[in-house]
Amino acid sequence: MTKPVLVIIDPAIKLPAGAERSTVEQSGDRLRLADPDQPQINVTDLGVTRGDGIFEAFGVSHGTVQAVEPHLSRLARSAKLLDLPELDLDVIEQGVRLAAREHEQVPFFMVKLIVTRGIEGVEEPTAWALAFVGDDYTARQQSGVKVVTLDRGYRHDVAQTSPWLLQGAKTLSYAVNRAVIREAKRRGANEVIFISSDGYVLEGPNSTVILKSGDTFVTPRTDQGILVGTTQHALFGIIESMGYATDYRYVEQHELTAADGLWMVSSGQQISAVVELDGNPLDHDHELTQELLKRLVERSL
């Protein structure tokens, strides 16, 4: 079994404003390889006591860390929504790359980056990057996913009206994102699409929703308290290069069943076709899905 690689990161900006930013050389003492099988987190770290932190999950395909800049931008956005101290994205990037480099070079693996608010009372952020072989998504990629739609409980505009609900931040408070997968399994499915309380399509608990309507690929607008999809962003580039149109707009629930194709995309699974929605089979274009999967996996080669 491939052994995970853990890099502990000291992630906060350390230099006064205006001073020279840390360089790769200077970052050395702010990165430290550690044993992932040994306890590394304090019981009063706010990451564990309050789910008070943020994360990103990078795919590493044939040695290349995918979508580094989109992930780091989203991390910075999440940090801002949570009023975390400013993060040193250079050092964090070095930590992610070090974990990827030290990991056994299997064709595809993940690097999960976590930043917490730190130990209560101290509140200097705790951070680490863990490289590991993630879930095997081959079956999903080949045979598709069965999806149920579940109420997210919030209106689609809640990020604007009530920013303290942290919608649009990728936080460690993911108990709901885990609970909905258990609910999906109880219903004989294995994936979820969240619907806003006023009927708009949002996102999956760990993925972005893409639908095809004629020759246009559509994803829900991200001003609805959902995450900017890093894999969706890459996919739209690929799709446009293939001659299709793309669109970010509000998507109503009834459009899911009427679509000419429906997919879930994320760093881990890359892309899977939705083959069943709320118990009803959906048409899907296997060849197109496989072509998109191939281009996504190979995008950085």
The reply on whether position 248 binds its own copies by CB under 8 A is: no
Chain centre distance of CA 2: 23
The reply on whether position 114 binds its own copies by CB under 8 A is: yes
The reply on whether position 87 binds its own copies by CB under 8 A is: no
Closest to its own copies by CB, 91 vs 192, is 192
- For its own copies, which residue of 61, 66, 94, 116 counts as binding (CB under 8 A)? 116
Closest to its own copies by CB, 116 vs 230, is 116
Closest to its own copies by CB, 35 vs 240, is 35
Instruction: Return the structure tokens found at 40.
Output: 């590394």
Alpha helix segments (H runs only) across 82-123: 89-102
Minimum Å gap between C-beta 296 and its own copies is: 25
175 Rama class: left (phi>0) / alpha (psi -120 to 50) / beta: alpha
Instruction: Return the structure tokens found at 242.
Output: 């293939």
Residue 271: closest CA among 224, 226, 204, 216: 204
The reply on whether position 183 binds its own copies by CB under 8 A is: yes
Closest to its own copies by CB, 9 vs 274, is 9
Minimum Å gap between C-beta 141 and its own copies is: 21
CA neighbours closer than 13 Å in the CB half-sphere of residue 72: 18
Phi (first) and psi of residue 12, to 5 degrees:
-85, 150
| Distance in angstroms (rounded) separating the CA atoms of residues 180 and 186 | 10
| Distance in angstroms (rounded) separating the CA atoms of residues 267 and 75 | 14
**Window 44-73: residues binding its own copies (CB under 8 A):** 44-53, 55
Residues 6+ apart with CB under 8 A from 69: none
Cα dihedral 126/101/33/131 (nearest 10): 60
Token match 């080949």: residue? 142
The reply on whether position 178 binds its own copies by CB under 8 A is: yes
Minimum Å gap between C-beta 197 and its own copies is: 7
- For its own copies, which residue of 3, 32, 101, 155 counts as binding (CB under 8 A)? 155
- Of the candidate spans 16-24, 166-174, 227-235, 293-301, the one that interacts with its own copies by CB under 8 A turns out to be 166-174
| Distance in angstroms (rounded) separating the CA atoms of residues 238 and 68 | 17
Minimum Å gap between C-beta 51 and its own copies is: 3
The reply on whether position 37 binds its own copies by CB under 8 A is: yes
Minimum Å gap between C-beta 38 and its own copies is: 8
- Give the binding-site size for its own copies (rule: CB under 8 A): 56
| Distance in angstroms (rounded) separating the CA atoms of residues 28 and 173 | 31
Minimum Å gap between C-beta 192 and its own copies is: 9
Point out which residues bind its own copies (CB under 8 A).
Answer: 4, 6, 36-53, 55, 82-83, 112, 114, 116, 128, 130, 150-155, 158, 161-167, 169, 171-180, 182-183, 197
